[in-house]
Chains A and B, each alone.
Chain A
Amino acid sequence: MEDYQIAMKTVKPLKMEGKLIVVEGIDGSGKSTQIHLLEKWLGYKGINVFKSEWNSSEMVKEITSKGKKKGLLTPTTFSLLHATDFADRYERNILPLLRAGYFVLADRYVYTAFVRDIVRGCNPDWVRKVYDFAIKPDLAFYFKVPVDIAVDRILVGRPKLKYYEAGMDLNLSNDPYESYRIFQGRIIDQYDSMAEPEGFTIIDGTLNIEEQQKTVRKMIMPLLPHQTSSKKIRKVKA
């Protein structure tokens, strides 16, 4: 594993025993379902798995949600609070667990910050440098779905969209649903432009769940511990 772009001096090329697998895509692309199945599969195989979700650090969550409720966040503070959340999970869990040999599954990673912050108008170079301490994943899956399908999946049984979720802070439309559609469309554009340079593995998110999972697992097979280490796996299982 190589350090993402310019590594920070404190993170000298560290030996990573574990593997980092990332899923990306807009809300309703089905990525969380896929990572859930992946987690179960790896766990069943006796592999040490840890899943980390975007915006889930206990410490930061309270503040972000307070700011979101009050509508106080600017693109810069929105970006920095999410970076704080990421850094906390990265320093506390992701990095040490990778060092310890875990399979770390990240439901959204730095790419989510890149796409969202850039759509919100943050400087792309600035955002990328803010996150340049994060290591590059072994595999990054991008679940690609047309905006209408994803939006329909999300809106089923959801009477109301939240302010920032709908991208209302961008003044795209006064109608939250319309705003959401435009916002998600722009995020897809960002993901698409990033797919090749970042080496995303693109998964067709319109296929059925089983088919998608099959492709995902096939890609992960080469990362699994080989025969030589099968003893270790058996030991964990027993």
Chain B
Amino acid sequence: MKHKQRELGGRPVEFYGHGINHLQDVEIKGRLIVIEGPDASGRSTQIERITARLEADGHAVLNTGLKRSELVSKGILEAKQDYDLGRKTLALFYAADFADQFEYKIIPALQAGYIVLADRYIYTLIARNVVRGLDKRWCHNLYGFAIKPDLVFYLDVEPSVLIHRVFQKNLSLDHYESGADIGLSNDMYESFLIYQSKISREFHLMQKRYGLIPINGNRTVAEINADLQHRIDQFLDKVMHS
């Protein structure tokens, strides 16, 4: 609360790869904070709480997530239902959806000084693609137009804990989130566990490369929230006093 009146400092954007031509000289004032983690890991609850806290502290906050673009989000859902999409096709479709939100929501909000809280970012998309056998270099290049977030948290939940949370939430396992499309096992339960550990392994591999901060997601909502909020507060404190 005490820093309410202070502005976050401006800075140029930093891309993962080649970036986007017309955004090379863009200056952003806001900060990009990402929360990654599998379905039912508690991401949305955490984002709700953090948003409320940051707004109470006087920050403008924008929430974004995957499959929310004006351009393609509906298309992905429809296409998944009506067609059996190839892996590269789906990967590119998701990339288009992400790019649309990136250019029309994330960048403008950052320019305007918002704290953008992203419910997943490129890492989930990359991990899914890699687990489905697509070439790693290809997957990373695909998202070379994205900027590096200021903070990326990864809610790390044991697949065996996760599956119970999924059942509490939905009573059934999601086709894609269980990797049922890649034939890991005839048993959905087992397929889910294998798939989620594969995804988790990809996240651990990306941890160093992308500076992901693993957060023990096996704890209670309140415990995780306290941990995340503490880290975010520390970060904002630092950038506003530098």
Contacts and interface: CB of A to CB of B under 8 A. Distances in A.
Contact of B138 (A8, A92, A121): A8
Interface in A121-154: 121-123, 125-126, 129-130, 132-133
Given A9-B133, A91-B86, A63 B72 contact: yes
Given A74-B103, A126-B141, A130-B142, A87 B133 contact: no
A10 interface: yes
Contacts of A74: 20, 99-100, 103-104
Contacts of A67: 71
A123 B145 CA distance: 9
A100 interface: no
B145 A87 contact: no
A163 interface: no
A62 B75 contact: yes
Given A59-B83, A74-B103, A76-B20, A90 B88 contact: yes
B207 to A, nearest CB: 22
A88 interface: yes
Interface stretch (B89-97, B163-171, B229-237): B89-97
B19 A123 contact: yes
Interface string B35-59: 0000000000000000000000000
Contacts, number: 104
Contact of B18 (A6, A90, A123): A123
A56 interface: no
Interface stretch (A28-36, A78-86, A205-213): A78-86
Given A91-B89, A126-B18, A72 B96 contact: no
B135 A9 contact: yes
A6 B91 CA distance: 18
A185 interface: no
B70 interface: yes
Interface residues of A, number: 34
B161 interface: no
B95 A80 contact: yes
A121 B21 CA distance: 6
Nearest to A80: B96
A74 B88 CA distance: 21
Contact of A59 (B82, B88, B95, B141): B82
Contacts of B86: 87-88, 90-92
A83 B138 contact: no
Contacts of B93: 60, 84
Contacts of B85: 59, 88
A91 B83 CA distance: 13
Given A9-B135, A74-B100, A91-B89, 5 more contacts: A75-B20, A87-B86, A87-B89, A88-B85, A91-B87
Going nearest first, the 7 A-B pairs with the smallest beta carbon separation are A91-B86, A123-B18, A80-B96, A84-B92, A8-B135, A63-B75, A87-B89
14 contacts: A6-B135, A8-B88, A8-B134, A9-B133, A59-B85, A59-B89, A60-B75, A60-B93, A76-B145, A80-B99, A81-B71, A87-B88, A87-B89, A126-B141
